[in-house]
Amino acid sequence: MSPARPDGQGSSAAAEGLAAIVAGALAEDIGSGDITTILTTDPETPGRAVIRSNQEGVLAGALAACIVFTTADPSLEVVSSIMDGARVAAGDTIMRIAGRGTSILTAERTALNFLQRMSGIATLTAEFVRLVEGTRAKITDTRKTAPGLRLTDKLAVRAGGGVNHRFGLYDMILIKDNHIAAAGGITAAVARCAGRTGMTVEVETKTPDQVAEALRCPGITRIMLDNFTVDSMREAVRMIGGRVEVEASGNVSLANVRAIAGTGVDFISVGALTHSAPALDLSLDYVSGPSRP
């Protein structure tokens, strides 16, 4: 069975996938027990907590954080104040939690880890998306995600306004340079993929000659321009002439993404969205005593 895809942030498939990831994250953190919380707190003492943003950004991971708390203790009450994809400012309340104080403290770091990482990815994605506004280009992610966190990373990209590239090795044919070398050339590699109808077939190219060869191959639906200069990219887009989709890739940054988008490409894939996004600064403040969230 293939892993759950982020086909919608509220979809049952995404929720099931998040539940599995959360279960593993909690097991990793808690192990045989939260020894500090066990020794310092009364398990029957009620508590409440508030998660706040300490900087401006785009929120992602609210569903994941809710699942963390309710998996750690189904009796916890969790109320999200801000939904994924919304902008937050410093001081904004994101979530309120109430119930057993020990459960809140035990789940705190895992919930914040999801929220901070995913919000950081969403915030960086939103900035790339802003910079290409008014062009045809869509910002897309890559498979350069944290192992085991592909679903959360890609959900975060969507929350930031980006689109998802292939989720894994199974849902799209992407013929890259090493496949081309192994097959004996672009033409031979594409020919081996013939008959796979209903699936995107993309070919990575590094030179104008490879673009021309790819265009002669029947059945491809997208050409990737890998590490092309802006000028050579513009010429390649002209050469392709709308016959297939065009994706730009390689060393894309906030400084050059606007120029890349101006060449007329359809997609710009950015590995930095998921491998280099700084975490958003969020914190949880805990208070003892009974209260509803």
Q: Which residues are catalytic?
A: 109, 144, 176, 204, 226
Integer-rounded Cα radius of gyration of the chain: 22
3-state class (DSSP) for residue 144: coil
Read off the tokens for 72. 């750690």
C-alpha 183/C-alpha 177 separation (Å) is: 10
- Angle at which helices 150-159 and 12-30 pack, to 10 degrees? 120
Q: How far apart are CA 154 and CA 238, in angstroms?
A: 31
Q: Within the chain, what is the greatest distance between any pair of CA atoms?
A: 71
Q: Which two tokens stand for residue 210?
A: 């490879």
Per-residue tokens: 278: 């700084």
> CA–CA separation, 3 vs 22, rounded Å?
14
Q: 101 vs 31, 63, 129, CA distance in Å?
A: 19, 21, 40
DSSP state of 4: P
Q: Which residues, listed in sequence order, are joined to residue 78 by a DSSP beta bridge?
A: 97
Pairing of strands 282-288, 46-53: antiparallel
Q: How many CA atoms lie within 13 A of 223 on its CB side?
A: 29
Structure tokens belonging to residue 187? 């033409």
CB atoms within 10 A of CB 225: 26
